[in-house]
Chains A and B, each alone.
Chain A
Amino acid sequence: MDAKSWLRKALGRGVKSPQRKSLPDGVWLKCDGCAAIIYRNELMRNLWVCPRCGQHMKVGAAEYVALLTDDGFEEEIAAGLISADPLKFKDSKSYKDRVKAATAKTGLEDAVVAGSASIDGVSVALAVMDFNFIGGSMGSVVGEKVARTMRAGLERGLPVVIVSRSGGARMQEGILSLMQMAKTAAMAARLREARIPFLSVLTHPTTAGVMASYASLGDVIISEPGALLGFAGPRVIRDTIKQELPEGFQSAEFFLEHGMIDLIVPRTKMRETVGRVLRHLAAPAPVAGE
Chain B
Amino acid sequence: MLNPLSDFERNVRDLQAHIDELRNIAAKKGDGDAQVVNAALENLVSQTTHLRSRRYANLTTWERVQVARHPERPHTLDYVDMIFSDWVELHGDRRFADDPAMVCGLARLNGRSVAIIGQQKGRDTKKRIHRNYAMPHPEGYRKALRVMELAQRFHLPIVAFVDTPGAYPGIASEERGIAEAIAVNLREMAVMDVPILAIVIGEGGSGGALGIAVADRVLMLENSWYCVISPEGCASILWRTPEMAPAAAEALQLAAPQLEKIGVIDEIIPEPAGGAHANWKEMAAAIRDRLQAHLDELLELSGAELVQRRIERFSSVGVWHEKEKSS
Number of A-B residue pairs at CB separation under 8 A: 196
- Complex interface: chain A residues within 8 A of B180 (CB): 212, 216, 260
Q: What does the 1/0 interface line of B169-180 toward A look like (CB < 8 Å)?
A: 111011111111
* Nearest B residue to A151, CB-CB: B315
Pairwise interchain contact B186-A182, C-beta atoms closer than 8 A = yes
Report the contact-size class of chain B (Cβ under 8 Å from the partner). Answer: 35 or more
> Which of A35-43, A59-67, A87-95, A100-108 faces chain B?
A87-95
Cβ of B318 and Cβ of A176 under 8 Å apart?
Answer: yes
Q: A185 contacts B179, CB within 8 Å?
A: no
Q: Within A131-175, which residues are at the interface with B (CB < 8 Å)?
A: 139-141, 143-144, 147, 169-171, 173-175
Cα of A188 to Cα of B190 in the assembled complex, Å: 10
Q: Which of B7-15, B230-238, B293-301 contacts its partner?
A: B230-238
A91: chain B residues at CB < 8 Å are 238-239, 247-248, 251
Given contacts A186-B187, A212-B182, A216-B179, contact A249 B171 (CB under 8 A): yes
Main secondary structure of the interface of A (DSSP, over half): helix
B52 CB → nearest A CB, Å:
29
Contact bitstring A195-223, B, C-beta under 8 A = 1, else 0: 00000000000001101111111000000
Q: Which of A2-10, A21-29, A76-84, A114-122 contacts B (4 or more CB under 8 A)?
A: A76-84
Chain A residues with CB under 8 A of B227 = 174-175, 178
Q: Are A182 and B318 in contact (CB under 8 A)?
A: no
For chain A, the bracket of interface size reads 35 or more
Q: A residues near B, CB below 8 A?
A: 14, 79-84, 86-87, 89-92, 139-141, 143-144, 147, 169-171, 173-183, 185-190, 192-193, 208-209, 211-217, 230-232, 236-237, 240-241, 245-246, 249-250, 254, 258-260
Give B contacts to A, CB under 8 Å: 167-171, 173-180, 182-184, 186-188, 190-191, 206-207, 210-211, 214, 226-229, 233-234, 237-239, 247-248, 251-254, 259, 262, 264, 310-311, 314-315, 317-325, 327
